[in-house]
């Protein structure tokens, strides 16, 4: 019999991924009792994240066991990988048996391209909402969207809210509340510009220009 | 003449560090124009974070250039390193010339042990407040404490608020607001238990027990 307290969680690590998308949830998950985390890529070679850090995958697509939770994030360089047949095949295959199919930020674009969001509502980074809608997905603008076993977070930092939501689903509210306390997740953002609705169109336009010039676009190469 | 828009930021990567402490700020800093980030440790060998991930430093203590901003985080295994003379000497040496001496979470314990917080107020993880006070530091319970050129954040996730505060100091409010928008930092914590004051003594006690059994304590070894 499966011990329902033991979960195998797979995080897809790809070159150019936005590290916080995935490493926020990783920090939450790693605190949960009985969780085994796999950091998965095609090879075990170091992967450069979009903030220029080198991280080491520990599991290949080929060697990856069946996952209870599959999770993929976004990245500024997503165009380079969002049609990668190996990634999409891996997501599709694991998605066929995973208990929860999940993403943070632009990761929902990958889930959609793998055919895993047909008929589902999902969240994504605000700058990717149109692209996700164009893929036939009903876009939710909430921070975390739970639609049956699809759990998707908004942009980057939403991964923390997302991770705690999953912690609560897997281990119950009290455990999630404890992890939130241990991570001292009592946010006090210095500004009130965390969503396009709050930031307003002028700042959104500036942010789009800023994004195109971000040093991380170079660093990830 | 120094171009004030170019900053060299050093993040200390040590075995057992809490990854989100440092990787939250890293994500913020990497979006800033003209920032050069160094990930610093004794050697270039992979370092295992307390959530079990292997990351690669890219700069050694020995080869590290003068830093404008030095930043160190905490970790569940801090006891193992908080009296490490090499780390403390490195912090002290860089701290003698850095424009900003900073920490997230239990990193302020390291700054204090290096003698860099004498006469300063500083933040730390809630579970480390007593230890920091015992080191003679005036403990602030705010999310981010700015005292002249010492900038310190509270526990783990406070690193995002901390990073945006530093972004604002280095590059001005508008740039920090744009980065906050790009990281979609519009938090919606699923529970209201992110500080000991909010969580209450019963949950705090449970969290202390929970922490002692965290799988990450094993993973980091």
Is the pLDDT score of B118 beyond 70?
yes
Among residues A50, A46, A42, A44, which one has the least CA distance to residue A22?
A50
By CB atoms closer than 10 A (0-12, 13-18, 19+), residue A101 is: buried
**A35 → chain B, closest CA residue:** B215
Residue B58 has pLDDT above 50, yes or no: yes
Q: What is the pLDDT of residues A119-134, one digit of tens each?
A: 999 999 999 999 999 9
Mean of pLDDT values over B67-80 = 91
Given A105, A123, A146, A158, the catalytic residue: A105
- Neighboring chain B residues of A45 at a CB cutoff of 8 Å: none
**Per-residue confidence (pLDDT) for residue A220, from 0 to 100:** 46
The 10s digit of each residue's pLDDT in B8-50 is 999 999 999 999 999 999 999 999 988 999 999 999 999 999 9
Averaging pLDDT over each range in A109-118, A210-219, B77-86, which range is the top one? A109-118
Mean pLDDT of chain B: 94
Query: Across chain A, what does the average pLDDT equal?
Result: 94
B124 interface with A at CB cutoff 8 Å: no
Q: B76 pLDDT band (50/70/90 cuts)?
A: confident
Confidence of residue B1 (pLDDT cuts 50, 70, 90): very low
The answer, yes or no, to whether residue A221 has pLDDT greater than 70, is: no
CB contact under 8 Å between B178 and A206, yes or no, is: yes
A138-139 and A121-122 beta bridge pairing: parallel
A157 part of contact set with chain B, CB < 8 Å: yes
What is the percent of chain B with per-residue pLDDT over 90, rounded to a whole number? 88
Beta strand pairing status for A100-104 and A54-56?
A: unpaired
Per-window interface: A 45-104 vs B, CB < 8 A: 46, 50-56, 58
Instruction: Looking at the complex, report in whole angstroms how far the Cα of residue B86 sits from the nearest Cα belonging to chain A.
Output: 23
Going from the C-alpha of B137 to that of each of B50, B122, B141, B147, the distances in angstroms are 26, 7, 12, 12
pLDDT tier, A218 (very low <50, low <70, confident <90, very high otherwise): low
pLDDT value, residue A35: 94
Q: What is the pLDDT of residue A213?
A: 80
- The answer to whether residue A25 scores a pLDDT higher than 90 is yes
Query: By percentage, how much of chain A surpasses pLDDT 90?
Result: 88
Question: How far is residue A182's CA from residue B191's CA, in Å, rounded to a whole number?
Answer: 13
User: Annotated catalytic, B105?
Assistant: yes
pLDDT in tens, B137-184: 999 999 999 999 999 999 999 999 999 999 999 999 999 999 999 999
DSSP SS3 for A20: helix
**What is the model's pLDDT at position B19?**
97
Q: What is the pLDDT of residues A2-12, one digit of tens each?
A: 345 789 999 99
* Nearest residue, CB atoms, A157 vs list B154, B156, B184: B184
Nearest to A189 among B31, B161, B194 (CB): B161
Tell me what the mean pLDDT of segment A77-89 comes to: 90
ipTM for the predicted complex comes to: 0.95
pLDDT in the model for residue B221: 46
The tokens of B12 are what?
């200390």
pLDDT of residue A217: 54
User: How is chain B classified by DSSP, letter by letter?
Assistant: ---TT-EEEEEE--TTB-HHHHHHHHHHHHTSTTEEEEEEESSSS-EE-TTS-EEE--EETTT----SEEEE--BTTGGGTTT-HHHHHHHHHHHTT-SEEEEETTHHHHHHHTT--TT-EE---GGGHHHHHHTT-EE--SSEEEETTEEEE-STTHHHHHHHHHHHHHH-HHHHHHHHHHTT-----SSS-SSHHHHHHHHHHHHHHHHHT-HHHHHT-
Percent of chain A clearing pLDDT 70 (strictly above):
95
For residue B220, pLDDT beyond 50: no
CATH 3.30.300.180 fits B7-188, yes or no: no
When pLDDT is cut at 50, 70 and 90, the band that residue B79 belongs to is confident
Question: What is the per-residue pLDDT for A212?
Answer: 85
- Is the Cβ–Cβ distance between B211 and A168 less than 8 Å? no
Residue A89 has pLDDT above 90, yes or no: yes
Termini Cα distance of chain B: 46
Model confidence band, residue B213 (pLDDT cutoffs 50, 70, 90): confident
């Amino acid at each position: 019999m499966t011990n329902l307290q033991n979960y195998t969680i797979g995080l897809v690590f790809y070159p150019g991924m936005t590290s916080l998308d995935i490493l926020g949830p990783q920090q939450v998950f790693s605190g949960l009792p009985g969780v085994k985390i796999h950091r998965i890529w095609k090879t075990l070679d170091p992967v450069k994240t979009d903030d220029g850090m080198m991280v080491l995958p520990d599991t290949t697509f080929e060697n990856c066991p069946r996952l209870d939770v599959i999770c993929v994030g976004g990245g500024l360089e997503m165009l380079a990988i969002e049609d990668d047949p190996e990634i999409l095949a891996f997501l599709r295959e694991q998605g066929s048996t995973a208990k929860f199919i999940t993403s943070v930020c632009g990761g929902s674009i990958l889930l959609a391209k793998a055919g895993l969001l047909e008929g589902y509502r999902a969240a994504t980074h605000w700058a990717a909402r149109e692209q996700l809608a164009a893929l036939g997905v009903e876009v939710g603008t909430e921070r975390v969207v739970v639609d049956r076993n699809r759990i998707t977070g908004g942009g980057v930092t939403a991964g923390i809210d997302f991770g705690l939501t999953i912690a609560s689903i897997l281990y119950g509210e009290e455990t999630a509340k404890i992890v939130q306390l241990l991570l001292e997740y009592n946010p006090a953002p210095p500004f009130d510009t965390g969503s396009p609705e709050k930031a307003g169109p002028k700042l959104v336009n500036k942010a789009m220009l800023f994004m195109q010039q971000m040093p991380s676009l170079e660093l990830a190469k």
